[in-house]
Chains A and B, each alone.
Chain A
Amino acid sequence: MLIPHPLLGLRDAQEFTYLGDARLIDRPDPSAPDAEAAFCDYVFLRDNPAGVHREFWFHEQGDRSWLVVTRDTVTHEVLGAELARDAALSRTRCSK
């Protein structure tokens, strides 16, 4: 597969390390009353859809950017990629 790195252009997937569901970006609020339950979900439950999925890829053999890649897990078509840092900064945080 080829990953369209936002800074470096098309890069071979072999340069990357895969992590999975990009919802890991939303770490729960540790001070909330239900923090333990929220962390259980966060740590142990992942979506694994057949279809469009947002997922983390780490450009480990490259510039060490974490990317959020939108990919169709059925066709492997990559619909987009952004720096995880940008995604993290732009998201609305539910707490803090």
Chain B
Amino acid sequence: MTRLSGGLIDRSQTLNFSFDGKRYQGNPGDTLASALLANGVRLMGRSFKYHRPRGLLSVGSEEPNALVELRSGARREPNTRATTVELFDGLEARSQNRWPSLGFDALAVNDLLSPFFTAGFYYKTFMWPKAFWEKLYEPAIRRAAGLGRLSMQADPDVYDKGFLHCDLLVIGGGVAGLAAALTAARSGARVILADEDFRLGGRLLSETRTLDGAQASDWISALEAEFESLPNIRVMRRTTVFGVYDHGIYGAVEGVSDHLPEANGRVRQTLWRITAKRAVLAAGATERPIAFADNDRPGIMLAGAMRAYANRWAACPSETIAVFTNNDDGHRTARDLAAKDVKIAAVIDVRPDAKARGDYRLITGGMVAGSRGRLGLKSIEVQANGRSEWIECGALGVSGGWNPNVHLFSHHRGRPVWNEPLQAFLPGENGPLGLIPAGAAAGHFSTGDALRSGARAAQRAMGELGIAASLPDLPRAEEADYTVAPVFHVPGKKRAWVDFQNDVTVKDIKLAHAENMRPVEHLKRYTTLGMATDQGKTSNVTGLAVMAELTGRSIPETGTTIFRPPYTPVTLSVLGGGDTGRHFRPRRLTPTHHWAEAQGAVFVEVGQWMRAQYFPRAGETHWRQSVDREARAVRGAVGLCDVTTLGKIDVQGADAGEFLNRLYCNMMATLKVGRVRYGLMLREDGFAYDDGTCARLAEDHCVVTTTTANAGLVYRNMEFARQCLWPELDVQLISTTNAWAQIAVAGPKSRALLARIVDGFDLSNEAFPFMACAELTVCDGLRARLFRISFSGELAYEIAVPARYGHALIERLMELGADLGATPYGTEALGVLRIEKGHAAGPELNGQATALMVGLGSMVSQKKDSVGAVMSRREGLAGDRRRLVGLRPVDPAGKVVSGSHLFAEGAPWKFDTDQGWITSACYSPHVGSMIGLGFLENGDERLGEVIVAANPLEGESARLRVVPAHFVDPEGARLRE
């Protein structure tokens, strides 16, 4: 087949491409579909269930048949509609769901077995034995039925997200959309015009209609030039508005470089979030087929699509065609193709009174009742006036009428309304606020009507926004009436396809009816009608009409078609935008991060933070060696650890003390200036929530710390308490986590080290005792805060300096502390030290523990109210007898595994004999064996008892001795030295 005359393709350039390995040529302006058609390719795919040979049905994003795999390697993209792929040089495409080849598909045997594959087949057949489903049935079905294959590699392309705002969003760049955009743009309003095609014009591009007696393309070009000159309109081609969301927010995907061989550093697609005060839905209409026996052969396509391929792309599937129609529009196809010297074998119109629009054979009151041709149409059976004849033709254009594209209108459960003269659903009254349907999407099918309705919709939108917009002079256009006969399928015994993508036939709908799956929702799920990539764009209304006929009710009584986003498939890649891999969430670095990196630290993710886990030294081959050394350095000399990640909240105001009193379960109002106190917060339901320290820097100024994990949540809850619960208190909050670099200086030599950096500050035990705090200067005038607090049980301090000095401070401390044995330590050693000291942390404060359980029950003040105080006293919590204990293996070489459950010796490992669990475990270099912390029933009364820790996951158990929950300096003498 050679090209016809005319068309909107650039014949001066040739583009090479391949399909199933065979090389072809097309031209700029082609889609993959039009180029294949122009090369005489009719067979483009195999159907989902029966593996029937399939060709193009349509011309746009509604295409159910011609699904192909594009590109290769990691860029392989399955299930792409050939009709929406803009041709580029070097494009590679392959057909799907066939083996060994498209022409000979072994699984076409399914078609012979079709009596077994009707609706509900899976539900009825694969019921038992139950075990067979996962191992046998499902894998076999998945191999047999299916679409394209994923590359199974990471997507190498870049995607982006963007935000746009406008007064009017015009969805669709056809006749109505162009008129709407023109009207609004001339009024000065901010306008966005989006269209999924790569050319503006919509259906105008596919028709021979004139505007003001000239070619429609002249009018489009003039408009494009005017839009180009106006600063207030943004024209977005290759952009699909796929969903309507609340308050005028629209989701759209722009194919930025989908049409290029390589993105070359540009983004592949952009996800736009468009906030529009008003929108005009000018999405046009989609033609629907008429179902008849064997109506799915390659070469049988929608009449409007056949006309579009001929007019816009100068391509036709055959030299001889026929048309089967129930409306006037089908005749246009015959007329336009005849004008391009294509032979018209016949036009079959179901209406007895139909009139010919040109010099062709018209069969009125006729039906197409069958077809022949294994891999492509050869002839059709026409029945009319009681006679039957076979007519030879290589292609058949079918028109069953047009369905307005009401999809976006129904995204907020807007119910479309049935229109009897048009035999179609139209937008009703209850669509998304601010969305005005226009043009063919509103049932205005003639060019003149569409122009006027687009302009008026924009004028109405502008009026609602208080913007004066006058109607532009619109070109004179065709005003033809559209009449359609209510014929949706041709009765017969053989299979007649309704949904091509899911292989749903009229028979399947009859079966669903017979088995009482009659509501449209049941019909869809039982037969799969309207599922997959096309979401029933060409099949839903026909399916509904067949069901209506079977039930003897009208179509609106039978149901409506409701659509959800997205209008067309949206890739997960573009929804992710750039937020994938490392960019999935922010990565926060501590002030000493780069220093730690230079020391060769191994890092660990803690929430968004990267923290140094340990600092391996030369010769250390196992992480335990590093961690043991770091922990020993703290116990024996002095260690340094960046603790900036702990949340820091500045609390200021006359009522700061009273406010904190109500948030912490223990007394805070009595805290003296210059002192620090440990604090425990409860949730309002009485469980332990978060712990930290509160340092009082002044009567009206406190600094509290939170755990790293809860920093954001505690701050949020404190703001809630301040604004919503106790707004009468004079208190202000600000998070200063990022403002201060904080370094723990821990170990017996910590005082000696700090003495070398403070500016004349008395660090003696008398002047600055345990739990003291002060504001001071260090290193000749650097502002700092010093807290004498200890997480390790050793003499220890935490020093804070403005964040930008954190790096310099740790370098200075390491330099000045070299002779003292100053050693950096990471989160692993930090954990070992706190387990040895028996401090509760995240594994203990896991949301299921009470203050009583962690041994802090006495902290819950009975003298005052605080968040969670009342609920902490309820029976279920107050009566919990599990207590935090220390655990040591009876065999010093034995293992302690956190998560193990605790049982009395000899007791079975069952739920009702379970006595608790191990929360934290580590190897303790101080003790010389593994140790653990855990919650144990009546733990405080069982010191010395031997119990069993069961780890059934790994088939292990260990005998452990119950000891007090501190392995180091139980009297707390060291930290007070």
| A1–B248 alpha-carbon span in the complex (Å) | 8
**Contact indicator B725/A27 (Cβ below 8 Å):** yes
Known contacts A42-B684, A58-B716, A76-B247: does B869 contact A83 (CB below 8 Å)? no
**Contact indicator A56/B724 (Cβ below 8 Å):** yes
Say yes or no for B579: interface residue by CB 8 A criterion. Answer: no
**Contact indicator B716/A83 (Cβ below 8 Å):** no
List chain A residues, Cβ under 8 A from B719: 58, 64, 66
Known contacts A42-B684, A83-B723: does B247 contact A30 (CB below 8 Å)? no
List chain A residues, Cβ under 8 A from B727: 85, 88-89
**Contact indicator B247/A65 (Cβ below 8 Å):** no
Say yes or no for B403: interface residue by CB 8 A criterion. Answer: no
List chain B residues, Cβ under 8 A from A43: 684-685, 871
> Nearest CB to that of B720 among chain A residues?
A66
Partner of B724, one of A2, A78, A85: A85
| A36–B873 alpha-carbon span in the complex (Å) | 8
List chain B residues, Cβ under 8 A from A2: 246-249, 275
CB distance from B337 to the nearest CB of A (A): 49
Partner of B723, one of A44, A78, A84: A84
Say yes or no for B865: interface residue by CB 8 A criterion. Answer: yes
Q: Which of B724, B727, B728 lies at the interface centre, i.e. has the most chain A CB atoms within 10 A of its CB?
A: B724
List chain B residues, Cβ under 8 A from A13: 246
Interface string of A65-96 (1 = CB under 8 A from B): 11000000001111000011101110000000
| A87–B720 alpha-carbon span in the complex (Å) | 13
Q: Which of A36, A44, A78 lies at the interface centre, i.e. has the most chain B CB atoms within 10 A of its CB?
A: A36
| A41–B628 alpha-carbon span in the complex (Å) | 50
| A12–B712 alpha-carbon span in the complex (Å) | 20
List chain A residues, Cβ under 8 A from B712: 60
Q: Which of A35, A65, A66, A78 lies at the interface centre, i.e. has the most chain B CB atoms within 10 A of its CB?
A: A66
| A93–B285 alpha-carbon span in the complex (Å) | 59
Interface string of A50-61 (1 = CB under 8 A from B): 000000101010
**Contact indicator B865/A31 (Cβ below 8 Å):** yes
Query: Which of the four size classes fits the interface of chain A?
Result: 35 or more
Partner of A85, one of B723, B865, B869: B723
| A13–B249 alpha-carbon span in the complex (Å) | 11
> Nearest CB to that of B685 among chain A residues?
A43
List chain A residues, Cβ under 8 A from B685: 43-44
Say yes or no for B361: interface residue by CB 8 A criterion. Answer: no
**Contact indicator B871/A25 (Cβ below 8 Å):** no
| A85–B869 alpha-carbon span in the complex (Å) | 23
CB distance from B712 to the nearest CB of A (A): 8
> Nearest CB to that of A27 among chain B residues?
B725
**Contact indicator B723/A36 (Cβ below 8 Å):** no
Partner of A88, one of B245, B248, B725, B873: B725
Interface string of B873-906 (1 = CB under 8 A from A): 1100000000000000000000000000000000
Say yes or no for B604: interface residue by CB 8 A criterion. Answer: no
**Contact indicator B247/A25 (Cβ below 8 Å):** no
CB distance from B162 to the nearest CB of A (A): 14
List chain B residues, Cβ under 8 A from A36: 870-871, 873-874
List chain B residues, Cβ under 8 A from A84: 723-724
Partner of A60, one of B246, B716, B870, B874: B716
| A25–B723 alpha-carbon span in the complex (Å) | 9
CB distance from A44 to the nearest CB of B (A): 8
| A17–B865 alpha-carbon span in the complex (Å) | 27
> Nearest CB to that of A44 among chain B residues?
B685
> Nearest CB to that of B719 among chain A residues?
A64
**Contact indicator B870/A66 (Cβ below 8 Å):** no
**Contact indicator B874/A78 (Cβ below 8 Å):** no
**Contact indicator B247/A78 (Cβ below 8 Å):** yes
Q: Which of B716, B870, B871 lies at the interface centre, i.e. has the most chain A CB atoms within 10 A of its CB?
A: B870
Determine chain B's interface SS by DSSP, over half rule: helix
> Nearest CB to that of B275 among chain A residues?
A2
| A76–B684 alpha-carbon span in the complex (Å) | 30
> Nearest CB to that of A17 among chain B residues?
B716
Interface string of B716-751 (1 = CB under 8 A from A): 100110011101100000000000000000000000
**Contact indicator B247/A35 (Cβ below 8 Å):** no
| A19–B719 alpha-carbon span in the complex (Å) | 13
> Nearest CB to that of B734 among chain A residues?
A64
| A20–B501 alpha-carbon span in the complex (Å) | 43
List chain B residues, Cβ under 8 A from A1: 245-247, 249
| A84–B720 alpha-carbon span in the complex (Å) | 9
List chain B residues, Cβ under 8 A from A12: 275
Interface string of B125-162 (1 = CB under 8 A from A): 00000000000000000000000000000000000000
**Contact indicator A66/B723 (Cβ below 8 Å):** yes
List chain B residues, Cβ under 8 A from A85: 723-724, 727
List chain A residues, Cβ under 8 A from B247: 1-2, 76, 78
List chain B residues, Cβ under 8 A from A60: 712, 716
Known contacts A30-B870, A35-B870, A43-B684: does B249 contact A66 (CB below 8 Å)? no
> Nearest CB to that of A29 among chain B residues?
B865
Interface string of B404-415 (1 = CB under 8 A from A): 000000001000
**Contact indicator A39/B725 (Cβ below 8 Å):** no
CB distance from A51 to the nearest CB of B (A): 15
**Contact indicator B728/A89 (Cβ below 8 Å):** yes
List chain A residues, Cβ under 8 A from B874: 36, 40
Partner of A30, one of B245, B412, B433, B869: B869
CB distance from B411 to the nearest CB of A (A): 12
CB distance from B689 to the nearest CB of A (A): 13
List chain B residues, Cβ under 8 A from A17: 716
**Contact indicator B723/A39 (Cβ below 8 Å):** no
> Nearest CB to that of A66 among chain B residues?
B723
| A45–B505 alpha-carbon span in the complex (Å) | 51
List chain A residues, Cβ under 8 A from B716: 17, 58, 60
| A34–B516 alpha-carbon span in the complex (Å) | 55
List chain A residues, Cβ under 8 A from B869: 30
List chain B residues, Cβ under 8 A from A75: 412
**Contact indicator B724/A88 (Cβ below 8 Å):** yes
| A55–B870 alpha-carbon span in the complex (Å) | 25
| A30–B869 alpha-carbon span in the complex (Å) | 9
| A44–B685 alpha-carbon span in the complex (Å) | 8
| A12–B163 alpha-carbon span in the complex (Å) | 11
List chain B residues, Cβ under 8 A from A35: 870
Known contacts A2-B247, A17-B716, A30-B865: does B724 contact A39 (CB below 8 Å)? no
List chain B residues, Cβ under 8 A from A78: 247
| A25–B720 alpha-carbon span in the complex (Å) | 9
**Contact indicator B246/A39 (Cβ below 8 Å):** no
| A30–B245 alpha-carbon span in the complex (Å) | 43
| A43–B685 alpha-carbon span in the complex (Å) | 6
| A31–B412 alpha-carbon span in the complex (Å) | 48
Interface members, chain B 485-528 (any A CB < 8 Å): none
List chain B residues, Cβ under 8 A from A76: 246-247
CB distance from A87 to the nearest CB of B (A): 8
| A19–B874 alpha-carbon span in the complex (Å) | 25
**Contact indicator B724/A65 (Cβ below 8 Å):** no
| A84–B723 alpha-carbon span in the complex (Å) | 6
> Nearest CB to that of B867 among chain A residues?
A27
| A88–B246 alpha-carbon span in the complex (Å) | 29
| A64–B865 alpha-carbon span in the complex (Å) | 26
Q: Which of B684, B712, B723, B874 lies at the interface centre, i.e. has the most chain A CB atoms within 10 A of its CB?
A: B723
Interface members, chain B 853-874 (any A CB < 8 Å): 865, 869-871, 873-874
List chain B residues, Cβ under 8 A from A30: 865, 869-870
| A27–B867 alpha-carbon span in the complex (Å) | 10
Partner of A39, one of B412, B728, B871: B871
Chain A to chain B contacts (Cβ below 8 Å), 21 pairs: A1-B246, A2-B248, A2-B249, A13-B246, A25-B725, A30-B865, A30-B869, A40-B871, A40-B874, A43-B685, A44-B685, A58-B719, A60-B716, A66-B720, A66-B724, A76-B247, A78-B247, A85-B723, A85-B727, A88-B727, A89-B728
User: 7 new A-B pairs (CB below 8 Å) besides A36-B871, A43-B685?
Assistant: A1-B246, A2-B249, A42-B684, A58-B716, A85-B727, A87-B724, A89-B728
Query: What are the 8 tightest A-B residue pairs by CB atom distance, in nearest-first order?
Result: A30-B865, A2-B247, A1-B246, A76-B246, A85-B723, A66-B723, A88-B727, A84-B724
